[in-house]
Chains A and B, each alone.
Chain A
């Protein structure tokens, strides 16, 4: 139980996927202009990450390892993740057109999102059990959502600030992301993750 907690806290704060591992930067910058869409994106990523972890865990231990073809891990995982994201996209488009519109082109971005692939690969590398894997996935997704929402809040505030012309948009977003990442380094060593 304590192990699971350590995995969770580590994935959310200490080794935050975006701010410490620097994975998933594309949606981090792309879908963080508004807090609402950031939350929506966080949900979508949480869902995709959890499902992808389950799927890739099974594929790894019931197909790749038994057949001795671990070297195909990357390509197999990409295939699975891509199909899953497509599925999620279709469901969202039907169920919540508003969310679909605000997530816009960024949903397909999860398809090739290194955060999701990275999670699946790390999960195998760390030899997590099925349950640990799921907790790790949820932690990673929550960490991603936390970073995204914090960042969206900051960017919403920057909209009202007199940012110099040359720094507007992505430039100031990247500076802010860097500073946010610095702040998250305070968590370093909090738990051995």
Chain B
């Protein structure tokens, strides 16, 4: 049978063999943890502890500001030594709480086990919010917001994203293999919240072990394990929904417009911790990999550990890295240094050597149409980019720049090495600016 997928897409070398067979290792605590106050999409949290104060593991140290926001918690017990601007994965220094671990690593006494059967779905969502659970695929959108769709948009299909289509990354893969119970528990909890009729876990066919394991464990439950064709960006929300349900999320719309909600499998595990144990999201699995790393590993890391600590745990560097990327090579963000901390959305740390960097000079577009055929959103990247470069805002919008999901497929295939994604982002910013001005 032909596996389900979407139209377009690319097949980059996945390079997962470096870590896909390696069990998750606990990362030892460093001397200092820098927990940034903005780790999610939405308003940053506000510090609610003082310098010199002792905090317990899991204690709230930054409180949420507004609905689309979540609290931030101490990743270990220790003393708050500073609250100041520190280097941040977003590029510029941002407020962070600096904790000096006391070595006890003792949980806050407020956290307790709850029987989920005794909770209403609203109480359950509140627990998820308090635990600071965000989407762990990379975008870090607060999970409780997603879990509260308006009543006129009922969710009939709940979709779990175990695709992990980004090359190099294996953290979700290992989660599904080693912590399948936590994941499935979260799946059940989320199904309870949404009241969805159909529950699907989508997994790319290059993880047969995870597919087999989950199939076995879900044999009696009404959870469907859906193997998907190996193709990037199979894990992009809209493409995953199309593959699983055959529905297209309307342009400018959200998954709930077609009655679907999508969560990452790691998010499901975090929901389990939050609801059953009352434990906030203070750790995650992160794949530390790349040609510049001596011993690539899947690490269970605490939020706030510095990249240099992760590198050290993985045996150090082979040579000076040319590029430091948080996330995968297709959509991850380059970092200005190794003093940056990991945050809730950091699914991987990829270090490339200078020779691995794609750095051929930009040439003129030869209209080869590879980008058009690779685009999973069916756009004409080269045309949008040409308009965006000339700041022709109306034409940029007319060619549907705003529908671009910035997956990078077009830039990947472009033989002229045109920074298509960057140009389209540039164009999108111009379109948004124009819309803002029109409102004024």
Q: Which residues of A contact B (CB under 8 A)?
A: 160, 162
The CA of A162 and the CA of B389, in the complex, are separated in Å by 12
| CB of B252 within 8 Å of the partner chain | no
4 contacts between A and B (CB under 8 A): A160-B386, A160-B387, A160-B390, A162-B364
The CA of A160 and the CA of B367, in the complex, are separated in Å by 12
Q: Point out the residues of chain B lying under 8 angstroms from A160, CB to CB.
A: 386-387, 390
Task: Scan B88-105; emit 1 where CB is below 8 A from any A CB, else 0.
Answer: 000000000000000000
Q: Point out the residues of chain B lying under 8 angstroms from A162, CB to CB.
A: 364
Closest to A161 in B: B364
The CA of A103 and the CA of B387, in the complex, are separated in Å by 25
Closest to A156 in B: B395
The CA of A127 and the CA of B246, in the complex, are separated in Å by 64
**How far, in Å, is A153 (CB) from chain B's closest CB?**
14
The CA of A162 and the CA of B390, in the complex, are separated in Å by 12
Closest to B386 in A: A160
**How far, in Å, is A135 (CB) from chain B's closest CB?**
38
The CA of A160 and the CA of B387, in the complex, are separated in Å by 8
The CA of A160 and the CA of B384, in the complex, are separated in Å by 11
Q: Point out the residues of chain A lying under 8 angstroms from B387, CB to CB.
A: 160
**How far, in Å, is A154 (CB) from chain B's closest CB?**
14
**How far, in Å, is A155 (CB) from chain B's closest CB?**
15
The CA of A162 and the CA of B363, in the complex, are separated in Å by 12
The CA of A162 and the CA of B362, in the complex, are separated in Å by 14
The CA of A160 and the CA of B386, in the complex, are separated in Å by 7
Q: Point out the residues of chain A lying under 8 angstroms from B390, CB to CB.
A: 160
Q: Point out the residues of chain A lying under 8 angstroms from B364, CB to CB.
A: 162
The CA of A160 and the CA of B364, in the complex, are separated in Å by 11
Q: Which 4 residue pairs spanning A and B have beta carbons closest together?
A: A160-B386, A162-B364, A160-B390, A160-B387
The CA of A180 and the CA of B417, in the complex, are separated in Å by 31
**How far, in Å, is A71 (CB) from chain B's closest CB?**
54
Task: Scan B380-391; emit 1 where CB is below 8 A from any A CB, else 0.
Answer: 000000110010
The CA of A162 and the CA of B416, in the complex, are separated in Å by 15
**How far, in Å, is A15 (CB) from chain B's closest CB?**
33
Task: Scan B346-370; emit 1 where CB is below 8 A from any A CB, else 0.
Answer: 0000000000000000001000000
The CA of A162 and the CA of B365, in the complex, are separated in Å by 11
The CA of A51 and the CA of B290, in the complex, are separated in Å by 74
Closest to B387 in A: A160
The CA of A160 and the CA of B389, in the complex, are separated in Å by 9
Q: Point out the residues of chain A lying under 8 angstroms from B386, CB to CB.
A: 160
The CA of A160 and the CA of B418, in the complex, are separated in Å by 15
The CA of A160 and the CA of B380, in the complex, are separated in Å by 15
The CA of A124 and the CA of B284, in the complex, are separated in Å by 87
**How far, in Å, is B418 (CB) from chain A's closest CB?**
13
The CA of A160 and the CA of B385, in the complex, are separated in Å by 10
Closest to B382 in A: A160
Task: Scan B273-314; emit 1 where CB is below 8 A from any A CB, else 0.
Answer: 000000000000000000000000000000000000000000
**How far, in Å, is B146 (CB) from chain A's closest CB?**
40
**How far, in Å, is B365 (CB) from chain A's closest CB?**
9
Closest to B383 in A: A160
**How far, in Å, is B426 (CB) from chain A's closest CB?**
16
Closest to A160 in B: B386
Closest to B389 in A: A160
Task: Scan B386-404; emit 1 where CB is below 8 A from any A CB, else 0.
Answer: 1100100000000000000
The CA of A129 and the CA of B186, in the complex, are separated in Å by 85
**How far, in Å, is B118 (CB) from chain A's closest CB?**
64
Closest to A162 in B: B364
**How far, in Å, is A132 (CB) from chain B's closest CB?**
43
The CA of A162 and the CA of B364, in the complex, are separated in Å by 9
